[in-house]
């Protein structure tokens, strides 16, 4: 009863508060619905960016991977801080100066409408094929495991998970369809702080239990039990550091990983859309850099519990690593906390899910419908189209979700491998748009097509013995080469000139550069310290 009460209390508070905050907002306009009226502040942006990123594929997937492989997977998180610094100091000032609503909009300005349309379609496909189904499925695993939905309803576990997927998907769609970006941002901010609190309580309660009332003693016991689990540099001599069977070689930090991080934190629509909705450049930079601070802290929530799980369970769950986190939660959290925790889990699922739906709706409405289907569409019609797109994508994602079960290396690893199909080709096109002025529209399209084919061939068809993140790095270089070769044959007719839209203040935050360097230094220090552990 306490579990159910705390779940309903927190979930209800989030819904009521966000609805009340939206009572005077005009959601019928393009900027109002898709960009929150360009009124988001730094704290709201950071909370929303964090929770858009962190969901159950992290809580379940990364903790499961940490249980099996150790802290080496911390690279997915702490290196994000470096990408966020680059985004705050370089990319966001340019996006806001141009007054962008979507990233594909930049590609139309820089290249042509066809490049914009291709990227827009790929983004929408990537949401439906990779992110949304995995978020729903991992969330269903967690809720089913903790709440015992199947036992309560007297159905099989698979039926319980399926039912949870449907319910969560419908609720997330309602948030995205009727509230727009600002509703998403408000709910994200509250749930984001809830996630940090509840997520930190899991390792704290566990270490308190292990250390007989002393958290530090508990951490020492966990470390002494398996010190190699805390090392962040791969040591897999029997496999080989660059093998596709290695979980995450240290060397990938210098090949494909930084390209992936740059794309996700500075070019991925569902993330960057929060910063595009900022009231000013100053607040956008605060949002990105505050997110960088949170990303450095977040391994305490999505990596450390997995290592603690190894202390409790040994290697008994290696064949079902994605069940480790739910089992740990059930073991250490008191009943009165469990409902609150599941409510936060629900919030994390909804955040990522409805954020992706909102971004997909934004892209389709503004970059496809208005450009190719009905150029004369008014703002009200674009908002209505966005709502219908959100509904359709939600239904498709719910149907796809059950098919991502039983990933051999865990659900988070599966998500990253599938993301590689889309992220690196799109990142190459956007990066070339900023840094290589001679790359033409023809070159961009050639690089995009080549990149898609290269990764699918190398990683999914031939399955070459190279780690998929290294393949990202190779692909990035080859994409640029192809783009320059094609551009030499089909050069740009007129050079691209960035024009100031004058839509908002682009005065930078005076502490942005200083905080950026501090975040980079902390990232390096983490690797120096944890890289020397046995």
Q: Which CATH number fits domain 1-532: 1.20.1730.10, 3.30.43.10, 3.40.1160.10, 1.10.3720.10?
A: 1.20.1730.10
Q: Which of 103, 125, 105, 121 is nearest to 113 (CA)?
A: 105
Mean pLDDT (whole number) for 358-386: 80
The pLDDT-based confidence of 178 (bands split at 50, 70, 90) is low
Q: Which of 519, 445, 447 is nearest to 112 (CA)?
A: 445
Q: What pLDDT sits at residue 457?
A: 92
Range scoring the smallest mean pLDDT among 203-207, 300-304, 404-408:
404-408
Residue the block writes with tokens 């290396």: 409
Q: Angle at CA 112, nearest 5°, toward 110 and 117? A: 110
The count of residues in the chain is 534
Q: Which of 365, 410, 417, 366 is nearest to 388 (CA)?
A: 365
Q: What pLDDT sits at residue 92?
A: 95
φ/ψ (deg, to 5) at 226: -160, 75
Q: What pLDDT sits at residue 476?
A: 95
> Do residues 81 and 520 make contact, with C-beta atoms less than 8 angstroms apart?
yes
The pLDDT-based confidence of 397 (bands split at 50, 70, 90) is confident
473-501: pLDDT as tens digits: 999 999 999 999 999 999 988 888 888 87
CA distance 512 to 85: 8
Residue 396 pLDDT > 60, yes or no?
yes
Q: Which residue(s) pair with 532 in the sheet?
A: none
Between 349 and 306, where is the model more confident?
306
Q: What pLDDT sits at residue 25?
A: 57
Task: Encode 433-465: b = buried (16+ Cβ within 10 Å), e = exposed.
Answer: beeeeebbbbbbbbbbebbbebbeebbeeeeee
Q: Which of 401, 405, 410 is nearest to 167 (CA)?
A: 401
Q: Which residue(s) pair with 40 in the sheet?
A: 278
Torsion of CA 173, 176, 177, 179, to 10 degrees: 140
Q: What pLDDT sits at residue 489?
A: 94
400-452: pLDDT as tens digits: 877 766 554 555 566 677 777 888 999 999 999 999 999 999 999 999 999 99
**Distance (Å) of CA 516 to CA 267, 293, 391, 511, 522:** 18, 10, 39, 8, 10
Give SS3 for 191.
helix
> Do residues 119 and 360 make contact, with C-beta atoms less than 8 angstroms apart?
no
φ/ψ (deg, to 5) at 163: -65, -40
Q: Which of 285, 314, 312, 339 is nearest to 509 (CA)?
A: 285
Between 489 and 505, where is the model more confident?
489
Q: Which of 418, 337, 357, 384 is nearest to 168 (CA)?
A: 357
Q: What pLDDT sits at residue 183?
A: 64
DSSP string, 40-57: B-HHHHHHHHHHHH-SHI
Say which DSSP state 113 is in: H
Q: Which residue(s) pair with 280 in the sheet?
A: 505
306-329: pLDDT as tens digits: 999 999 999 888 877 878 988 898
Between 157 and 5, where is the model more confident?
157
Strands (E) located in 236-380? none
Mean pLDDT (whole number) for 89-102: 91
User: pLDDT exceeding 70 applies to what percent of the chain?
Assistant: 87
228-285: pLDDT as tens digits: 889 888 655 445 555 666 778 888 888 899 999 999 999 988 788 888 888 899 999 9
CA distance 89 to 509: 10
Q: Which of 124, 191, 183, 180 is nearest to 364 (CA)?
A: 124
Between 439 and 161, where is the model more confident?
439
- Mean pLDDT score of the chain: 83
Q: Which residue(s) pair with 278 in the sheet?
A: 40
Range scoring the smallest mean pLDDT among 197-211, 327-341, 427-441, 459-473:
327-341
Between 211 and 1, where is the model more confident?
211
> Do residues 231 and 533 make contact, with C-beta atoms less than 8 angstroms apart?
yes
Between 526 and 195, where is the model more confident?
526
Range scoring the smallest mean pLDDT among 31-35, 103-107, 255-259, 435-439:
31-35
Q: Which residue(s) pair with 505 in the sheet?
A: 280
Q: What is the distance of C-alpha 64 from the center of its chain?
A: 17
Contacts of 385 by beta carbon, 8 Å cutoff, 6+ apart = 361, 364, 365, 369, 377
């Amino acid at each position: 009863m306490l579990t159910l009460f705390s779940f309903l209390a927190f979930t209800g508070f989030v819904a009521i508060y966000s609805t009340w905050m939206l009572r005077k907002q005009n959601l019928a306009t393009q900027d109002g619905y898709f960009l929150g009226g360009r009124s988001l502040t730094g704290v709201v942006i950071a909370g929303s960016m964090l929770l858009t990123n962190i969901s159950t594929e992290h809580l379940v997937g990364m903790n499961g991977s940490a249980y099996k492989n150790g802290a080496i997977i911390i690279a997915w998180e702490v290196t994000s801080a470096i990408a966020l610094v680059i985004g705050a100091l370089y990319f966001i000032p340019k996006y806001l100066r141009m007054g962008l609503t979507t990233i594909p909009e930049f590609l139309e300005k820089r290249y042509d409408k066809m490049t914009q349309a291709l990227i827009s379609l790929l983004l929408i496909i990537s949401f439906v094929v990779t992110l949304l189904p995995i978020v729903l499925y991992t969330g269903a695993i967690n809720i089913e495991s903790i709440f015992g939905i199947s036992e309560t309803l007297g159905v099989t576990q698979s039926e319980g998970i399926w039912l949870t997927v449907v319910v969560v998907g419908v609720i997330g769609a309602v948030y995205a369809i009727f509230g727009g970006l600002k509703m998403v941002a408000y709910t994200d901010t509250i749930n984001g702080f809830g996630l940090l609190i509840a997520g930190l309580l899991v390792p704290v309660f566990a270490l308190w239990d292990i250390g007989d009332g002393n958290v530090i003693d508990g951490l020492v016991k966990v470390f002494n039990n398996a010190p190699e689990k805390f090392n962040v540099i791969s040591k897999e001599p029997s496999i080989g550091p660059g093998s596709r069977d290695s979980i995450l070689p240290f060397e990938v930090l210098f090949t494909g990983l930084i390209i992936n991080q740059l794309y996700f934190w500075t070019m991925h629509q569902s993330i960057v859309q929060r910063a595009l909705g900022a009231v000013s450049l100053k607040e956008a930079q605060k949002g990105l850099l505050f997110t960088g601070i949170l990303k450095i802290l977040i391994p305490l929530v999505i990596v450390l519990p997995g290592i603690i799980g190894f202390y409790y369970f040994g290697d008994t769950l290696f064949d079902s690593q994605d069940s480790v986190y739910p089992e740990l939660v059930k073991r250490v959290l008191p009943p009165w906390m469990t409902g609150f925790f599941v409510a936060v889990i629900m919030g994390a699922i909804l955040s990522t899910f409805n954020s992706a739906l909102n971004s997909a709706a934004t892209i389709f409405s503004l970059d496809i419908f208005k450009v190719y289907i009905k150029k004369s569409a008014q703002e009200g019609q674009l908002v209505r189209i966005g709502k219908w797109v959100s509904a359709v994508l939600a239904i498709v994602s719910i149907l796809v979700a059950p098919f991502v079960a039983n990933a051999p290396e865990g659900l988070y690893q599966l998500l990253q491998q599938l993301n590689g199909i889309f992220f690196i080709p799109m990142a190459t096109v956007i990066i070339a748009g900023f840094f290589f002025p001679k790359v033409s529209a023809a070159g961009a399209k050639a690089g995009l097509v080549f990149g898609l084919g290269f990764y699918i061939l190398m990683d999914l068809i031939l399955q070459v013995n190279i780690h998929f993140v290294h393949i990202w790095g190779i692909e990035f270089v080859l994409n640029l080469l192809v783009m320059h070769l094609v551009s030499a044959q089909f050069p740009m007719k007129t050079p691209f000139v960035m024009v100031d839209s004058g839509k908002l203040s682009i005065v930078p935050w005076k502490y942005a550069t200083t905080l950026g360097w501090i975040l980079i230094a902390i990232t390096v220090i983490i690797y120096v310290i944890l890289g020397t552990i046995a």
